[in-house]
């Protein structure tokens, strides 16, 4: 397996701020790789280290096996779709898309042809003569995509690619990006703070916290088997159980996670533990049921997911909760 991008103990410090701190990471060729984390977690700095806008304070960055740490952005065959798209407002859409080819000295005719093809690929045929200012947010993003892809990058970087779009467009664009990546086979690396976006689009997810890489894995791995309490908290609406509560629920006294979908609501006394329903939230595909269980003081309620089709219990009613042994996943308390 060829590695598109490799981080070897990479750090980027800004004075006393350790934006990226000793990250080891491998992005395989052809992957759709998500870097997920809250703001300030170092994911964007990692992206900028790949694009060349930042230079590592320590460590080695390799792109397709070549040491890239000190190579300036214009000498890397890596292109970026910027968060604000960064389209050149004084150029037409066509000129924007041709820009990368123009600065490389490719002749006018080839430039026009390839830019036209790219605009076709992102379904913007005929938009060439317009200015970026005349386009909608979704169209601008497509132009930014075409402008990056026309250079045939070895790695495409996307910085919060869907952040500025409204919900409907965001969902459509998720499918489209996925299809595009599949079709082109280019390694896509994108940064997001939206765990739903990361899990649904990527085939590998890297979770960042405070400048460090906490866990890398397939979306299912990260979702089902979070390595630390932080990952469980950040990646999904999972039950994060403090050691005392985990012990009370029949596990060892260690931080643990329990997926709401794995918890079944049964009659009082018929499950592993009894409790009282304190809140209901209708989610369409089912209802999220929060159950306060007798246990250590200050313990959070345990959340169960009651799928649609079975009537959820009423608020305030006593219930029992049951789950399979394997559902209780132990993790590190960080």
Partner 1 sequence: MSTPAATARAGAALPVLLAPRGAGDRLTALFWRRPGLLAALLVAPPLLWLAVVYLGSLAALLLQSFYSIDEFSGLVQRDFTLKTWAELFSPANLDIILRTVTMAAAVTLGAAVLAFPIAYFAARHARGRWKALFYLGVMLPLWSSYLVKVYAWKLILAREGIVTWAAEGVGASAVLNAVLALPVIGGNSLSTSYLGTWLVFLYVWLPYMILPMQAALERVPASMLEAAADLGASRWQAFRSVILPLALPGVIAGSIFTFSLTLGDYIIPQIVGTSARFIGQAVYQLQGTAGNVPLAAAFAVVPIVIMLVYLRIARRMGAFDAL
Tokens standing for residue 15? 């004075």
Least separation in angstroms between residue 151's CB and partner 1 is: 7
Q: Compute CA distances 215 → 29, 37, 194, 239, whole Å.
A: 19, 11, 16, 19
Least separation in angstroms between residue 95's CB and partner 1 is: 9
Least separation in angstroms between residue 147's CB and partner 1 is: 7
Residue 188, judged by CB atoms within 10 A of its CB (0-12, 13-18, 19+), counts as: buried
d(CA 6, CA 92): 36
Q: What residues from 26 to 55 belong to the interface with partner 1 (CB under 8 A)?
A: 51-53
Least separation in angstroms between residue 182's CB and partner 1 is: 24
Q: Which residues of 201-226 are buried (b: 16+ CB within 10 A; e: fewer)?
A: bbebbbbbbebbbbbbbebeebbbeb
Q: Residue 91 or 121: which CB sits closer to partner 1?
A: 91
Q: Give how many residues touch partner 1 by CB under 8 A.
A: 26
Q: What residues from 74 to 93 belong to the interface with partner 1 (CB under 8 A)?
A: 74-75, 78-80, 82-84, 86-90
Tell me, residue by residue from 145 to 184, as one string, x for binding to partner 1 by CB under 8 A and - for no binding.
--xx--x---------------------------------
Q: Residue 47 or 199: which CB sits closer to partner 1?
A: 47
Tokens standing for residue 212? 């460090």
Kindly state the greatest CA–CA separation across the chain: 78
Q: What residues from 96 to 125 belong to the interface with partner 1 (CB under 8 A)?
A: 99-100, 102-104
Least separation in angstroms between residue 84's CB and partner 1 is: 6
Q: Residue 105 or 311: which CB sits closer to partner 1?
A: 105
Least separation in angstroms between residue 143's CB and partner 1 is: 12
Q: Residue 39 or 74: which CB sits closer to partner 1?
A: 74
Q: Residue 150 or 293: which CB sits closer to partner 1?
A: 150
Q: Residue 44 or 228: which CB sits closer to partner 1?
A: 44
Least separation in angstroms between residue 127's CB and partner 1 is: 19
d(CA 37, CA 289): 27
Residues in the site for partner 1, rule: CB under 8 A? Answer: 51-53, 72-75, 78-80, 82-84, 86-90, 99-100, 102-104, 147-148, 151
């Amino acid at each position: 397996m060829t590695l598109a991008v490799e981080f070897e103990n990479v750090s980027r410090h800004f004075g006393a701020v350790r934006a990226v701190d000793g990250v080891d990471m491998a992005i395989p060729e052809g992957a759709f790789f998500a870097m997920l984390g809250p703001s300030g977690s170092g994911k964007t700095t990692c992206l900028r280290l790949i694009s060349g806008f930042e230079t590592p304070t320590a460590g080695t960055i390799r792109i397709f096996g070549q040491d890239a740490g000190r190579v300036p952005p214009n000498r890397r065959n890596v292109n970026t779709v910027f968060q604000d798209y960064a389209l050149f407002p004084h150029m037409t859409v066509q000129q924007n898309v041709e820009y990368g080819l123009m600065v490389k000295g490719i002749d006018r005719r080839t430039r026009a042809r390839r830019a036209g093809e790219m605009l076709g690929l992102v379904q913007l045929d005929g938009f060439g003569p317009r200015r970026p200012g005349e386009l909608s947010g979704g169209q601008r993003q497509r132009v930014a995509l075409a402008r990056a892809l026309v250079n045939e990058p070895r790695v495409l970087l996307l910085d919060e690619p869907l952040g500025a779009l409204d919900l409907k467009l965001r969902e459509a664009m998720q499918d489209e990006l996925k299809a595009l990546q599949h079709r082109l086979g280019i390694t896509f690396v994108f940064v997001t703070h939206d765990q739903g976006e990361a899990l649904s689009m990527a085939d590998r997810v890297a979770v960042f916290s405070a400048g460090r890489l906490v866990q890398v894995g397939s979306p299912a791995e990260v979702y089902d088997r979070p390595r630390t309490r932080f990952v469980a908290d950040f990646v999904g609406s999972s039950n994060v159980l403090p050691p005392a509560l985990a012990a009370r629920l029949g596990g060892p006294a260690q931080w643990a996670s329990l997926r709401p979908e794995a918890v079944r609501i049964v009659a009082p006394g018929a499950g592993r533990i009894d409790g009282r329903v304190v809140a209901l939230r209708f989610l369409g595909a089912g209802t999220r049921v929060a159950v306060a269980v007798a246990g250590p003081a200050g313990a959070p309620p345990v959340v169960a997911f009651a799928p649609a089709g079975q009537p959820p219990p009423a608020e305030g009613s006593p219930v029992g909760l049951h789950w399979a042994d394997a559902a209780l996943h132990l993790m590190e308390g960080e």
